[in-house]
Structure 1
Amino acid sequence: MKIGFVSDSLGALSFEEMLDQAVALGVSGVEINTGGWSRAPHLDLPQLRQSPAARRSFLQAFGSRGLEIIALNVNGNPLHPVDRRQSDALYETVRLAADLGITKICTMSGLPEGQEGDRLPNWVVSSWPPEGQVAKEWQFKERLLPYWEKLLDMAPQYGVTQFALELHGGQWAYNVPNFLRLREALGPMIGANLDPSHMFWMGGDPIAAIDALGDAICHVHAKDAGFNEARRGATTNLENGPLGLPSDRAWSYLTLGYGHDPLWWRQFCYRLRMVGYDGWLSIEHEDPLLDPIEGLTKSVALLREIMPVALGGFIQAEC
């Protein structure tokens, strides 16, 4: 496994400063945000699409520091019924991938409206009332499948071989069963980006998710989450207060080790290896209280201590 981080983790730094900090942290690569919900402070998508010189300079900035580009990240809602900017950013990111020689894109399944004519996405998370199930099936058949079939048909001509969909609240494929249903319909170009923090706050078990996903896992975001039990007792996990106020929330995103101890993270990484995952652990710092450089430093140190590095093998002695 290799350690990197999502570039928005250091969104206040310039592009060059962010890469210099990556070197100082001793990580192997950076996952670059290109748009979607991100303002993409480290990448000018239109400029890179238009200018070969800008692309050469961009790639040289990584190469001269011995860093890899882990993936392009365009997390957002490409299936928003009205705002098409999210979808446009995803398509442009696919085209940019060809220009940069990158094969993997991190994004999300998208969440459409609940029926024709609605102007807002509709996240169905309950079995009752029954019209929710009608909306969920309509979304899958009328929006998700047509959108992704078209995108997957286009992507290979731009060299993209993998879409790592983050199992994230507020998306159609927010949990393992929904994701696997989508992957079964669309094929192995659809992979899972497993971020344990989202499983935590939605009440799931990331290690159980590893077992259920198996070789469908093609990317991992390393991010922790913790709970404010006094608040959670009143609000449940379905918290929609501002993310920047952890004292007022049931749960918050935390630096690695602050929500779950190193033993848990050791077991998480070991379980990933058990199902064959030997890829990136891409740290996504969203802790509202810890300084990003401090948070990344602590997260890198934890992962470096506990993650499997070399492939091993048990050799049974002859009796």
Structure 2
Amino acid sequence: MKLGFLTACLPDRSLAEIAEWAGLHDYEALEVAAWPDLGARPFTATHLDVAGFGSGHADETRALVDKNGLTVSSLAYYDNNLHPDPTERAAVNSHVAACIDAAALLGCPCVGTFVGRHPGRTVAENLRDAETVFAPLVDRAGERGVKLVIENCVMEGWHPDGYPGNLAYSPELWEWMFSLGLYLNYDPSHLVWMGIDPVEALRPYVDRIPHAQAKDVQLFPAQRNRYGWPGRAVVREDPWDVGWWRYRVPGLGQVDWRGVVDALYEGGFDGVLSVEHEDPVWGGTEEKVRTGLEIAHRTLRPLIVA
């Protein structure tokens, strides 16, 4: 197992700058942000431009990460593959395909994305749509030796009422994903606030997890007693502000990291555990983000066998 981080937390830095910092701070891998340029959209970045990505770009990227003692664990493009607007949906699907092609040129084993959801359709209707949408993407990935991994983020901010906007949030849905040839990019933080034990949920599925993310979560039960599980309803100006939990870097929340890492090892996981930094306390400035990555490193490094 190696320790890495998702580069989207440093959107204003180049991949070269991030790789140098990561190597100097004892990280071993990068989950490289590969969104198209979306402007100021939070938690996204374009550290690899997959449009027109060719063998020369791949050679340069490999040389860059090799120089800093790193590997590229996955290309990251987490967006709504079931977007309700047909044009937007097609653009998202097409960009996933471009990420797959770029990953193959790099020798990168994974591409990470979301299933997503059309909020105006039932879960059953969405799942039927997804079976059609993902079939050619799974085939494309398989032909190129790449695994398409789906993060189990709930994406509640994509639904007008705060319900799951990414249909990958539970083991029931993981099993459905696996039947399509998709894999899981396991993140325990989402399970905790959903009321699912992240260690017990993990154990049966380690063989379908080629990549994992490390994000923590802090719960505020007194606020949950006020809002209920879906979160703020009457006044919710920010669709992501549920009011009773928030993400933290590993070690500052309630995830049992000893249990998670132990279950990964016991199940034979030998991939990358990638820190996904979305901590509002250790965010807002680049200095704070880097400190957050250092806190995560201090939490996780002792648990990972050198």
Q: What TM-score results when the alignment is normalised by the length of structure 1? A: 0.80
Identify the residue that residue 226 of structure 1 maps to in structure 2: 218
1:306 aligns with 2:300: no
Aligned to 1:60: 63
SS of residue in 2 equivalent to 1:46 = coil
- Alpha-carbon distance in 1 for matches of 2:203, 2:143: 33
Q: CA RMSD in A?
A: 2.2
Deviation digits for residues 103-157 of structure 1 (CA, Å, limit 9, x no counterpart): 311112232x3xxxxxxx348xxxxxxxxxxx2222222x111112222222233
Give the 5 Å matches for 1:229-308.
Answer: 229-239=221-231, 241=236, 242=238, 249-260=243-254, 264-290=256-282, 291-307=288-304
Post-superposition offset of 1:272: 1.6
Counterpart mapping for 1:6-21 below 5 A? 6-21=6-21
CA 1:217–1:54 in structure 2 vs 1: closer, same or farther (change >3 Å)? closer
Does the 8 Å contact 2:141/2:148 carry over to 1? Answer: no
Q: 1:179-190 residue pairs with structure 2 within 5 A?
A: 179-184=174-179, 186-187=180-181, 190=182
Contact 2:35 2:46 in 1 (8 A): no
Larger radius of gyration: 1
Match status 1:46 vs 2:51: yes
Q: CA deviation at 1:231?
A: 2.2
Which of residues 164, 182, 189 is equivalent to 2:149? 164
Determine helix, strand or coil for the equivalent of 1:140. Answer: helix
1:211–1:157 Cα change, 3 Å: closer
SS at match of 1:209: helix
Letter in 1 for 2:153: H
Deviation at 1:71, TM superposition (A): 0.9
Gaps of 5+ in 2: 155-164, 283-287
| Within-5 A mapping of 1:204-215 | 204-215=196-207
Q: Report the equivalent of 2:161.
A: none
C-alpha distance in 2, partners of 1:239/1:224?
Answer: 19
Contact 1:237 1:251 in 2 (8 A): no
Q: Distance in 2 between matches of 1:279 and 1:54?
A: 24
The separation in 2 between residues aligned to 1:19 and 1:214, in whole angstroms, is: 28
- Shift, 1:41, TM fit: 3.1
The Cα shift of 1:29 comes to 0.9
Q: Give the distance between the partners of 1:294 and 1:79, measured in 2 at CA.
A: 36
Q: Distance in 2 between matches of 1:33 and 1:110?
A: 18
Alignment of 1:22 onto 2:14 = no
Q: CA deviation at 1:39?
A: 4.2
Specify the alignment match of 2:159 in structure 1. none
CA spacing shift, 1:271–1:251, aligned 2, 3 Å = same
Q: Which residue of 2 aligns with 1:110?
A: 116
Contact 2:8 2:33 in 1 (8 A): yes
CA shift at 1:44, angstroms? 2.1
Q: 1:138: which partner in 2? A: 125
Q: What is the TM-score with the length of structure 2 in the denominator?
A: 0.83
- How far the C-alpha of 1:239 sits from its partner, in A, is 2.8
Give the secondary-structure state (helix, strand or coil) at the position aligned to 2:253: coil
Residues 177 and 34 from structure 1, CA distance in 2 versus in 1: closer, same or farther, beyond 3 angstroms? same
Q: CA deviation at 1:101?
A: 2.1
Moved more, 190-199 or 228-237: 228-237
Asked if 1:176 corresponds to 2:161, the answer is no
Q: Amino acid of the residue matched to residue 294 of structure 1?
A: T
Q: Which runs of 5+ in 1 are unaligned?
A: 114-120, 124-134, 311-319
Sequence identity percentage: 29
Q: 1:33-60 CA distances to partner (integer Å, 9 max, x unpaired)?
A: 111776423222225x2x5433332222
Greater CA deviation, 204-213 or 23-32? 204-213
Question: CA 1:159 to 1:277, structure 2 compared with 1: closer, same or farther past 3 Å?
Answer: closer
The letter of the residue matching 1:98 is A
Are 1:3 and 1:28, in contact at CA under 8 Å, matched by a contact in 2? yes
Q: Give the total of aligned pairs.
A: 279
